[in-house]
C-alpha cells in the first residue's frame, strides 16, 4: 500500500456506508487523518470509524486521527460548523471528498417537488456548501487543497425515472469544472470520479437478487458490477499529489459503461 496521505487531514462526506466508507478506509490505509461525516446513522458511522482506526493500526500510523462529524450536508450552518470543528481540532484541512448522495425513482411526471428539492439539496447543494467552506479555508493559508466529488456515469448518461439524480450529477460536472477553473491558479484542484454500478446500499434493489443483478451486469462491458474499494482507489489517486497536474476532470470508473455498450456489435452500418 502506498503512503500518500500521511499527515493529511481529509473530510469524507456521507462516509457511514458504501463508497464513502471505502474511501475513508482507503485514505486511512495510506496514513490520512479522517473526518467521517454522516447525517443520521450513528451505528454505521461508528463502524466506519472502527475500520478507519483498524487501518491506521495495521499501517503503523500511531499518530493518525479519526473523528466523527454528524451533519446534514444540505444545510449551510451545520456544514460551516463541521468545517469549523475540523479546523478547531486539527488546525487544517487538506482534502475534501464530496461523496454524500441519494436517489429515489419516480416517473418524472409523477415525481414530488419535495423529493426533487431533497435530492438536489444533498447531491448538489451539499457539494456546493462543503466545497465553498473548504475553499475559504484553502485560500486562508498556504498550500492549496484538493476536492474530489462523487459523481456518476449519469453525469453524462441520462437516467429516466431518476430525473433529480441525473440533474444533480450533470450539475456536478459543471460545478467541478467551474471551481477547477476559478481556483486553478491558487493551488486548488477540483476533480470528480464517475462510478458505474457499484455494490453498495444505494443499489439494494438488485445486489442480492441474482436475476436483477444479472440484468444489470449484462449491460456492463466488463460483465460485472464494481466494488466500493475499486472506486476508493480512484479517489485516492485524484486526491493525492500524483494527480498534481489534473483539475476539472471526471474520471469514469464504470467497467466500460460510458462506451455506448449497445455498439459492442455493429448494428448501424449493415455488417
Ligand atoms: P450509500 O447509500 O451507501 O451512500 C450514500 C451516503 O450518503 C450514505 O452514507 C448516506 O447516509 C449519506 N447521506 C445521505 N444524505 C446525507 C446528508 N444529507 N448529509 C450527509 N450524508 C448523507 O450509497 P453509495 O453507493 O456509497 O453512494 C455514495 C455516492 O456514490 C453517492 O453520491 C452516489 O450518487 C455515488 N454513486 C454510487 C454509485 C453506485 O452504483 N453505488 C454509482 C455512481 C455514483
Return per-residue pLDDT of the chain as tens, 271 residues.
999 999 999 999 999 999 999 999 999 999 999 999 999 999 999 999 999 999 999 999 999 999 999 999 999 999 999 999 999 999 999 999 999 999 999 999 999 999 999 999 999 999 999 999 999 999 999 999 999 999 999 999 999 999 999 999 999 999 999 999 999 999 999 999 999 999 999 999 999 999 999 999 999 999 999 999 999 999 999 999 999 999 999 999 999 999 999 999 988 887 6
Catalytically active residues are: 165
Question: Is the C-alpha dihedral spanning 224, 240, 23, 248 positive or negative?
Answer: negative
Q: Which domains does the chain have, with CATH numbers?
A: 9-256 (3.40.50.720)
- The CA-CA-CA angle for residues 220, 224, 226, to 5°, reads 100
* Best probe residue, ligand 1, of 20, 35, 118, 124 (max atoms within 8 Å of C-beta): 20
Spatial distance between the Cα atoms of 74 and 61, rounded to a whole number of angstroms: 33
What would the 3-class secondary structure string for 11-49 be? Answer: EECCCCCHHHHHHHHHHHHCCCEEEEEECCCHHHHHHHH
Q: Is residue 150 in contact with ligand 1, taking CB distance under 6 Å?
A: yes
Spatial distance between the Cα atoms of 106 and 124, rounded to a whole number of angstroms: 19
Strand order in the sheet with 66-70: 66-70, 33-38, 9-12, 95-98, 145-150, 188-195, 250-253
Spatial distance between the Cα atoms of 75 and 77, rounded to a whole number of angstroms: 6
Amino acid at each position: 500500500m502506498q503512503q500518500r496521505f500521511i499527515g493529511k487531514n481529509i473530510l469524507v462526506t456521507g462516509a457511514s456506508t458504501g463508497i464513502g466508507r471505502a474511501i475513508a478506509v482507503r485514505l486511512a490505509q495510506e496514513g490520512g487523518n479522517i473526518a467521517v461525516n454522516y447525517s443520521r446513522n450513528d451505528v454505521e458511522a461508528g463502524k466506519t470509524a472502527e475500520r478507519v482506526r483498524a487501518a491506521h493500526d495495521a499501517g503503523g500510523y500511531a499518530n493518525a486521527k479519526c473523528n466523527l462529524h454528524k451533519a446534514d450536508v444540505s444545510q449551510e450552518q451545520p456544514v460551516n460548523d463541521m468545517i469549523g470543528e475540523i479546523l478547531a481540532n486539527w488546525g487544517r484541512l487538506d482534502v475534501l471528498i464530496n461523496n454524500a448522495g441519494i436517489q429515489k425513482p419516480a416517473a418524472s411526471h409523477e415525481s414530488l417537488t419535495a423529493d426533487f428539492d431533497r435530492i438536489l439539496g444533498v447531491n448538489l447543494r451539499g457539494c456546493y456548501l462543503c466545497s465553498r467552506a473548504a475553499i475559504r479555508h484553502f485560500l486562508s493559508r498556504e498550500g492549496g487543497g484538493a476536492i474530489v466529488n462523487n459523481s456518476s456515469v449519469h453525469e453524462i448518461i441520462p437516467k429516466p425515472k431518476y430525473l433529480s439524480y441525473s440533474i444533480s450529477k450533470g450539475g456536478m460536472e459543471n460545478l467541478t469544472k467551474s471551481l477547477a477553473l476559478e481556483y486553478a491558479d491558487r493551488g486548488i484542484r477540483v476533480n470528480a470520479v464517475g462510478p458505474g454500478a457499484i455494490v453498495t446500499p444505494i443499489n439494494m434493489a438488485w445486489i442480492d437478487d441474482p436475476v436483477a443483478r444479472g440484468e444489470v451486469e449484462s449491460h456492463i462491458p466488463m460483465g460485472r458490477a464494481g466494488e466500493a474499494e475499486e472506486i476508493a482507489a480512484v479517489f485516492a489517486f485524484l486526491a493525492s499529489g500524483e494527480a498534481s497536474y489534473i483539475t476539472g476532470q471526471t474520471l469514469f470508473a464504470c467497467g466500460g459503461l460510458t462506451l455506448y455498450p449497445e455498439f459492442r456489435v455493429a448494428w448501424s452500418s449493415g455488417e
